[in-house]
Structure 1
Amino acid sequence: MRIVSLNVWGGLLHEPLMRYLVEAEADVLCLQEVTRTQGAHPDWLDYRDHGVELPQRANLFEEIGAALPTHDAFFSPTARGDLFDGEERVVSEFGLATFVRKSYPVIGQASDFVHGEFSAGGWGAHPRSRNAHCIRLFDYEKGFAITIAQIHGLRDIDGKGDTPDRHAQADALVKLIGQVRKGDERLVVCGDFNVLPGSVTFDALGALGLSDLITSRGHRDTRTSYYRKEPRFADYMLVTPAVEVIAFDAVAEPEVSDHRALLLDLR
């Protein structure tokens, strides 16, 4: 089984991103910062917030789904707010997307907020609401179930250090996993955590038997050249001992976002 986790940056690097998502041939894709806009609109819209303007692919969720017809698609929005087509406001959703190859049935799942609540009337105040999605799959060939959870951790303008909100976020993630996972079966947790190595997040997940593949395998960078700040840790992939890791990488090339894709082959 191949799992890819990636913050897709709203589809800003659309052409190489779409090519990579197809060519990676992942069985499960755990994607953060995915857009979904109902109705007919231009392919690109603008996100504007306090002087920041960033192009967003208007309907990235549908585009990825069309490019991966062999996968089931799940969308977990965090908020519904305004993007812009010139001066016209266009209501759009933003959140997590999970794509699962149809040969792996989804036999359990849960999605919930790990910080804040769903915001239907705008993007919300900072630090904005964040959620997680947890699925339980069955591998017919190998004859076992596996639980996979992804998270987009909260962003704090003061940095990636531990805060009471991040303590609560870690506890909420562990609770969500407990709603889906059965016993001590195989478990993978991934995403853009927005925390530093040594965070209490890893203590909470360690209680589930999870260990991090980024730091334990010597990776020191989960960002691409499009990100020019320090520190350069944001994304993580954790596994329990029952997960046999065949290969793992924080993919440096191709660059398809300001985050690197995390690619795990397991059995």
Structure 2
Amino acid sequence: MDIMCLNGWGGKLFEYLLPYIQTAAPEILCLQEVVHSPASDKDWLTYRDGDHILPQRANFFRDVCRVLPDHVAIFCPAAQGVLWDDDLSIPSQWGLATFVHKSIPIIGQAQGFVHKTFSPVGYGEHPRSRSAHGVRLYDYNSNRSVSVTHMHGLRDLNGKMDTPERAKQAQNLLDISRQVSTAEDVQVICGDFNVEPDSETLRILADAGFSELVTGRGFTSTRNSQYKKPGRFADYMMISDADLVRKFDVVYDPEVSDHCPLVLSI
């Protein structure tokens, strides 16, 4: 079973990202920073937050669904705000999505929040609402159940340091994973955690029995040349039984986001 985790950067590099996903076609894709604007048929809209102005792939969720037609797609919004088509405001949802190949039965799932709750009118004040999604799957190739849970961790404008909110977030993520897992399952937790490798978040998950694969396998960054700021880590993948890892990689080329895809084969 191949599991990919990626922050899609709102589809900013969609012309590279979509062909990459279509070719890789992982059985499980955990995608963060997904835009879903069903009220618009535009390809691009604009995000405005004071002086912070960004192009957004208006129907990024739809775009990925189109290149993965053999996958079940589940979108999990964290908030609904507006994007802009010139001076016209368009309601738009923002969150994460999970894609599971149709050949793999989904035998359980849990959707919830690791920070705050759904923001229905506007994206909210920082640090904003953050969602998580977990699925329990039956892997016929190995005759076992596998759970995969991912989140997009909160962004604190002061940095990636440990905070009580991040500790609570880690516990909430662990709780969602436990909702879709049994002790016999292979359990995977992943996502854009927005923390450093020595963080309390990773210690909480390690104390719960998870092995962290990014730094544990010697990778020195989960960012690429698209990311211009200091701090080279954001994304992590963890597993309950490291002996089951057949291959793990942080993909630096091609660059399909300002985050690198994490790819695990178990």
TM-score, normalised to structure 1's length?
A: 0.97
- Cα distance in 2, alignment partners of residues 79 and 14 from structure 1: 22
Answer whether contact 2:25 2:68 (CA < 8 A) is retained.
Answer: no
Question: Does 73-82 or 239-248 show the bigger shift?
Answer: 239-248
- Distance in 2, matches of 1:146 and 1:243, equals 14
Helix, strand or coil for the counterpart of 1:196? coil
- Counterparts of 2:164 and 2:220, CA distance in 1: 26
| d(CA) in 1 for partners of 2:107, 2:8 | 26
User: How many pairs align?
Assistant: 266
CA distance in 2, matches of 1:140, 1:263: 20
Q: What is the CA–CA distance in structure 2 between the aligned matches of 1:143 and 1:184, rounded to whole Å?
A: 12
Deviations 1:37-79 (A, max 9, x none): 1134321000111201111111111111121111000000000
Q: Does 1:36 align with 2:36?
A: yes
C-alpha separation in 1, matches of 2:40 and 2:172: 37
Cα contact 1:116–1:129 (8 A) shared by 2: yes
Paired residue secondary structure (2:165): helix
Mean Cα deviation higher: 58-67 or 107-116: 58-67
SS at 2:197 equivalent: coil
Residues in 2 aligned to 1:230 and 1:184: alpha-carbon distance in whole angstroms: 40
Describe the shift of the 1:86–1:202 C-alpha distance in structure 2 as closer, same or farther (beyond 3 A): same
Cα distance in 2 for residues equivalent to 1:126 and 1:25: 34
Alignment of 1:107-126 (within 5 A): 107-126=107-126
CA contact 1:4–1:28 (8 Å) conserved in 2: yes
For residue 242 of structure 1, report the CA deviation from its aligned partner.
6.0
Q: Could you say which residue in structure 2 is the equivalent of 1:232?
A: 232
Residues 46-85 of structure 1: matches in 2 within 5 Å? 46-85=46-85
Tell me how far 1:207 sits from its aligned partner: 2.9
Residue ranges of structure 2 left out of the alignment (5+ in a row): none
- 1:243 CA displacement: 5.5
Which deviates more from structure 2 when the two are superposed, residues 180-189 or residues 116-125? 180-189
Matched residues, percent identical?
49
Instruction: Give 1:181 shift.
Output: 0.5
Rounded to whole Å, the distance in 1 between the matches of 2:242 and 2:13 is 36
Corresponding residue number in structure 2 for 1:183: 183
Q: Secondary structure at the match of 1:169?
A: helix
SS of the residue 1:100 aligns to: strand
Alignment of 1:113-152 (within 5 A): 113-152=113-152
Q: Which amino acid aligns with 1:123?
A: Y
Do 2:212 and 2:237's aligned partners in 1 also have CA atoms closer than 8 Å? yes
Q: Cα offset for 1:227?
A: 0.5
Q: Please say if 1:100 is aligned against 2:100.
A: yes
Q: Secondary structure at the match of 1:214?
A: coil
User: Cα deviations across residues 95-147 of structure 1 (Å, max 9, x unaligned)?
Assistant: 01000001111100001000011001000000001011010000122110001
Kindly provide the amino acid, as one letter, of the partner of residue 225 in structure 1.
S
Shift in CA distance, 39/243, structure 1 to aligned 2, threshold 3 Å: farther
Structure 2 equivalent of residue 204 of structure 1:
204
CA RMSD of aligned residues (A): 1.0
Output the amino acid matched with 1:42.
Answer: K
Query: Structure 1 residue runs of 4+, over 4 Å off?
Result: none
> In the aligned structure 2, how far is the partner of 1:222 from the partner of 1:233?
5
Worse overlay, 174-183 or 188-197: 174-183
SS of match in other structure, 1:209: coil
Unaligned runs of 5+ in 1: none
d(CA) in 2 for partners of 1:165 and 1:141?
Answer: 39
Structure 1 position 261 matched with structure 2 position 261: yes
CA contact (8 A) 2:80 2:122 kept: yes
* Structure 1 residues 12-55: Cα deviation after superposition (integer angstroms, max 9, x where no partner): 00110000111112000000000111134321000111201111
Instruction: Give the TM-score normalised by the residue count of structure 2.
Output: 0.98
Query: Quick one: distance in 2 between partners of 1:118 and 1:129?
Result: 6
User: Structure 1 CA distance, aligned partners of 2:148 and 2:159?
Assistant: 27
Q: Is contact 1:186–1:242 with CA below 8 Å preserved after alignment?
A: no
Other-structure match for 1:18:
18
